[in-house]
Amino acid sequence: MNSDRVFWIGVLLACIVGFGLRCYGIWENEFWTDELVAIRTSHTMGSIGDHCFQRFSSPPLRYLLTWVFLDYFHEDRLIRIPSLVAGTLAILLTALLARRWFGNGAGFWASWAVSLNPWMIAYSQDGRMHIVAMFFFLCSIYLAIPLPTRWKRLTLFLGGFCLALSSAITYAAVIVCFGGLLVVMLESLGPSRKEWAVDVLTFTAP
């Protein structure tokens, strides 16, 4: 059996196991305070605008996602579905990132590390959307490194868009996204300019 087949079988199993672990007890868990605030805030678009723009306490996207599920499904606990989906897809995306950088073996083990990680499981079971922000951040890095020449501008645009989505969910992501934005900017430069930028950033420029 070749390494590509082992990789895909292993990652598929990791996604299935990870999805099961994330589903287990997801509807029985008590609400976090942040979830209760999101539910109270997201019943109308007006309340979302008041909370996000007048108080400037949180970015709007997490509340818009909550509003969609409250408006269409009328069940508070279903606001956890975006986190469940993003947390499961993060298994696959982490595997693909590790594979791209370090090969099939690293991707295989990375998928299981994310699948079984208690922190990742817990954050995939609540409606606070932190795992959704992390998923968009992973998407931006995957799109930015390395870039196929033919699709370079498109992938850079999509990578930047994913960074914006991540920051629109939680302000904490803004700090992390500086690193992702730096990666996207460096990848947009030519080889000589990229080397110069890295030298400047690492204080090794002549």
3-state secondary structure of 29: coil
Per-residue pLDDT band for 195 (boundaries 50, 70, 90) equals low
Q: Which two tokens stand for residue 159?
A: 């990578």
* Model confidence band, residue 200 (pLDDT cutoffs 50, 70, 90): very low
Whether the Cβ atoms of residue 67 and residue 43 lie closer than 8 Å to each other: yes
What are the structure tokens assigned to 66, written together? 């909550």
Q: What is the pLDDT of residue 205?
A: 43
What pLDDT does 183 receive? 62
User: How far is residue 177 CA from its own chain's centroid?
Assistant: 11
| 2 has pLDDT over 80 | no
Residues 68-109 pLDDT 10s: 888 888 788 888 999 999 999 999 999 998 888 888 888 999
> pLDDT digit string (tens) for 25-44?
888 888 888 888 888 887 77
Alpha carbon of 90 to those of 21, 47, 53, 119: distances in Å?
Answer: 14, 31, 30, 13
Q: Is 82 in contact with 38 (CB distance < 8 Å)?
A: no
**pLDDT confidence of residue 61:** 81
Neighbouring C-beta atoms of residue 127, cutoff 10 Å: 27
- pLDDT tier for residue 117 given thresholds of 50, 70 and 90: very high
Q: How confident is the model at residue 189 (pLDDT cuts 50, 70, 90)?
A: low
Q: pLDDT by residue (tens digit) across 47-74? A: 777 777 766 567 778 888 888 888 888 7
* C-alpha span between 194 and 56 (Å, rounded): 37
Output b/e per residue, 165-202; b: 16+ Cβ within 10 A.
bbbbbbeebeebbeebbebbebbbeeeeeeeeeeeeee
Q: Can you give the residue ranges of every domain in the chain?
A: 1-128, 129-206
**Two tokens at 10?**
């292993």
Confidence (pTM): 0.79
pLDDT in tens, 135-156: 988 888 888 766 556 667 777 7
Give the residue among 34, 31, 20, 7 at the shortest CA–CA distance from 130. 34
How much is the mean pLDDT over the chain?
79
pLDDT score of 34: 80
pLDDT-derived band at 5 (thresholds 50, 70, 90) equals confident
